[in-house]
């Protein structure tokens, strides 16, 4: 097989600092004012939406990253399935001791730049510069900041210290990145020959929902400009019949195409600032040229690509459920049009210049094609909340409470702060305190409180909705069991607004809680059931309707969900029994009349069932989600099986919300 070379694409330049304007959410990094290009892409505004992506893994396939640079501390990916330096391939991935990544050139677990080989001043620091642009630690009172303040940089060395490398190393690095959890791959590299195996690797990454960002490549000053439509380069021009990669060219501070940047309508998706970049350097003080942790200024499409990679990371951190092509669209469709500044290259610079703020703003309210479901154990398992996409893949998991707590986690989800993104609300199950927590999609605790007396350990049910038609979301709680049936309503500041008894004060049975607009008046009613008795209340505690569920296939352990299934103005009641030998779903009207009844599972273990309602296929009607242990089925309201997913949750009982 012919070996192709991938060449480094970086040009050194010199530049004077500019002052940044005053913003509320500026990091305290002392070299921040030298990162003028952040203003061009409106990064400082973007940080008001999201400044971090701590769980997003960005693979930098390059000349190696100085993983011990103090401004990358905390932002370097670690293979937690591997034991460092024990000489054993602990995770059986084919790479021994790959704790920090891998050097594919010398087959070594040390992915840093190598000084003992032929090198040049720019080549050996190239990967570290790229890593710094993406994810130098922000707000740590040291050095610079990356566009994302917190992320996980996976260092994969496939280019030597001169800036070249055999194609096979890059191909292997791509497969490694995908198989070891990379969400984004930055390829600030270029080659002049098409390679079948490289295309296969790119497609493999894309098909596994990885975002791929590639540089357009440079021409040195004095050479003829390169139109990639005529002279394609790779991997930037690997798209086939799909837009597998985000191809990125470079512009100067005035949004004019950089003189060295390649261009072309078929290969470029957008451009980004690529001149006069100040970033991290390799620190190796025994060598005279490597005694600074950061420096500049550098130029090249190599510098433009990581700004796009970091933007993708911020989007992924904000919306972890999004698919790669959705992230592509959010970036491409929210650029700034600069054609009037580049008339010679009109239509040749992609959709425009990167605008990180507009991309994040669009992402915050974007309605994804992905159905996101949230699962947590009912009991007997650590309190881990898992977020699944509609392929059954875990896109995020976190502990809602102490790892040793096994009393279960009750769940709800709602957009509490009206930013277009749901928060996750948890209530501790039985044997835990009455602890309610609110998390963002990254699993970070935003707020928490105790809904009942601190000594109560019967479990807390939670739900959220606008129960008083004031445009604000309230949090509603109920004791799970072994307490008087006191329903509480809290506002967004966690202040108690009202409370009422759903049953007689002496009642100590198990409750279920759900919310929905039952009568079509624009506000959610509070629905409480105990066994087959269902009651519907206003936010003031006024009982507006009650009925008994009466069908042959129900036991006393009844789970009721209220939701508008048919797309009209009223809600229906979806009912399933948790303990019975027949897994029937029953749908009742608001007056308690049985409208549909169908069997969700033929065989199942007791105590395994739970239900939720969500818009799985983005059609006019919602679907019913039924989970039995680790099998999730999606049905239409009339019982047609639409989809079936195996979700990775090994537990005897699981709570589910959409």
Per-residue pLDDT reduced to its tens digit, 163-186: 888 889 999 999 999 999 999 999
The helix or strand, by DSSP H or E, that contains position 295, with its residue range, turns out to be strand 294-299
pLDDT digits (tens, 9 = 90+) for 447-464: 999 999 999 999 999 999
What is the per-residue pLDDT for 6?
Answer: 47
pTM of the model: 0.79
Q: Is the pLDDT of residue 2 over 70?
A: no
Pairing state of beta strands 384-388 and 101-103? unpaired
Q: Is the pLDDT of residue 648 over 50?
A: yes
3 state DSSP class of 10: coil
Q: Is the pLDDT of residue 105 over 50?
A: yes
Query: Among 424, 417, 329, 338, which Cα is nearest to 369's?
Result: 329
Query: Among 423, 424, 394, which Cα is nearest to 209's?
Result: 394
pLDDT tier, 268 (very low <50, low <70, confident <90, very high otherwise)? very high
- Mean per-residue pLDDT for 470-476? 94
What dotted CATH number matches 11-365? Answer: 3.40.50.200
Q: Is the dihedral of CA 344, 348, 350, 356 positive or negative?
A: negative
Question: Beta-carbon neighbour count of residue 540 at 10 Å?
Answer: 12
- Mean per-residue pLDDT for 335-341? 97
CATH topology of domain 373-657: Neuraminidase (2.120.10)
3 state DSSP class of 212: strand
What is the per-residue pLDDT for 162?
Answer: 84
Query: Among 231, 239, 230, 264, which Cα is nearest to 249's?
Result: 264
Alpha-carbon span 321 to 372, nearest angstrom? 7
**Domain spans of the chain?**
11-365, 373-657
DSSP structural state of residue 360: H
- Mean per-residue pLDDT for 4-12? 52
* 488 touches 466 (CB < 8 A): no
H helix count then E strand count, the chain:
8, 34
Is the bond preceding 508 in cis, omega lying within 30 degrees of 0?
no
- Mean per-residue pLDDT for 237-245? 83
pLDDT digits (tens, 9 = 90+) for 344-401: 999 999 999 999 999 999 999 898 877 788 888 888 889 999 888 877 778 788 999 9
603 vs 373, 451, 554, 626, 656, CA distance in Å? 23, 38, 16, 13, 20
Fold match, 11-365 / 373-657: no
């Amino acid at each position: 097989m012919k070996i192709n070379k991938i060449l480094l694409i970086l040009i050194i330049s010199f530049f004077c600092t500019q002052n940044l304007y005053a913003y509320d959410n500026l990091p305290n990094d002392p070299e921040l004012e030298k990162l003028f290009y952040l203003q061009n892409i409106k990064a400082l505004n973007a940080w008001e939406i999201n400044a971090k992506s701590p769980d997003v893994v960005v693979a930098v396939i390059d000349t190696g990253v100085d993983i011990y640079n103090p401004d990358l501390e905390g932002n370097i990916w670690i293979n937690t399935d591997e034991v460092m330096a024990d000489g054993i391939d602990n995770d059986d991935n084919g790479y021994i001791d790959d704790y920090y990544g891998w050097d594919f050139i010398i087959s070594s677990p040390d992915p840093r730049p190598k000084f003992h080989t032929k090198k040049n001043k720019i080549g050996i620091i190239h990967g570290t510069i790229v890593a710094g642009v993406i994810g130098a630690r922000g707000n740590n009172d040291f050095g610079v900041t990356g566009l994302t303040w917190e992320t996980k940089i996976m260092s994969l060395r496939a280019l030597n210290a001169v800036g070249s490398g055999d194609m096979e190393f890059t191909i292997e690095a791509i497969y490694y990145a995908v198989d070891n959890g990379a969400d984004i791959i930055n390829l600030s590299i270029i080659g002049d020959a098409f390679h079948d195996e490289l295309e296969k690797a790119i497609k493999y990454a894309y098909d596994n929902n990885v975002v791929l960002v590639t540089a357009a490549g440079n021409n040195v000053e004095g050479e003829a400009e390169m139109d990639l439509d005529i002279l394609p380069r790779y991997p930037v021009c690997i798209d086939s019949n799909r837009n597998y990669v985000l191809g990125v060219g470079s512009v100067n501070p005035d949004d004019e195409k950089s003189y060295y940047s390649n261009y072309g309508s078929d290969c470029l998706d957008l451009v980004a600032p690529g001149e006069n970049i100040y970033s991290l350097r390799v620190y190796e003080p025994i060598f005279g040229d490597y005694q600074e942790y950061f420096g500049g200024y550098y130029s090249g499409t190599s510098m433009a690509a990581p700004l796009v990679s970091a933007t993708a990371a911020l989007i992924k951190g904000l919306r972890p459920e999004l698919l790669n092509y959705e992230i592509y669209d959010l970036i491409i469709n929210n650029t700034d049009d600069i054609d009037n500044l580049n008339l010679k290259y009109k239509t040749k610079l992609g959709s425009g210049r990167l605008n990180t703020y507009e991309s994040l703003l669009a992402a915050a309210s974007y309605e994804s094609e992905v159905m996101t479901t949230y699962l947590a154990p009912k009991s007997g398992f650590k309190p881990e909340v898992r977020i699944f996409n509609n392929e059954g893949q875990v896109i995020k998991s976190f502990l809602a409470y102490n790892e040793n707590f096994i009393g279960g986690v009750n769940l709800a989800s709602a957009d509490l702060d009206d930013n277009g993104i749901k928060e996750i609300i948890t209530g501790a199950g039985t044997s835990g305190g009455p602890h309610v927590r609110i998390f963002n999609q990254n699993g970070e605790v935003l707020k928490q409180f105790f809904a009942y007396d601190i000594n109560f350990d019967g479990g807390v049910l939670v739900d959220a909705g606008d129960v008083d038609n004031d445009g604000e979301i309230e949090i509603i709680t109920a004791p799970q069991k072994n307490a008087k049936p006191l329903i509480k309503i809290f506002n967004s500041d966690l202040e108690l607004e009202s409370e009422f008894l759903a049953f007689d004060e002496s009642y100590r049975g198990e409750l279920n809680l759900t919310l929905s607009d039952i009568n079509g008046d624009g506000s959610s009613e509070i629905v409480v059931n105990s066994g087959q008795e269902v009651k519907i209340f206003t936010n003031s505690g006024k009982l507006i309707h009650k009925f008994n569920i009466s069908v042959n296939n129900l036991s006393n352990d009844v789970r009721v969900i209220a939701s508008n299934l048919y797309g009209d103005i009223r809600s229906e009641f979806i009912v399933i029994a948790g303990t019975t030998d027949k897994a029937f779903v029953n749908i009742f009207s608001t007056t308690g009349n049985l409208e549909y009844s169908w069997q969700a599972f033929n065989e199942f273990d007791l105590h395994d069932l739970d239900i939720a309602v969500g818009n799985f296929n983005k059609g006019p009607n919602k679907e019913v989600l039924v989970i039995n242990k680790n099998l999730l089925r999606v049905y239409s309201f009339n019982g047609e099986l639409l989809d079936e997913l195996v979700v990775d949750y090994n537990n005897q009982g699981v709570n589910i919300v959409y």
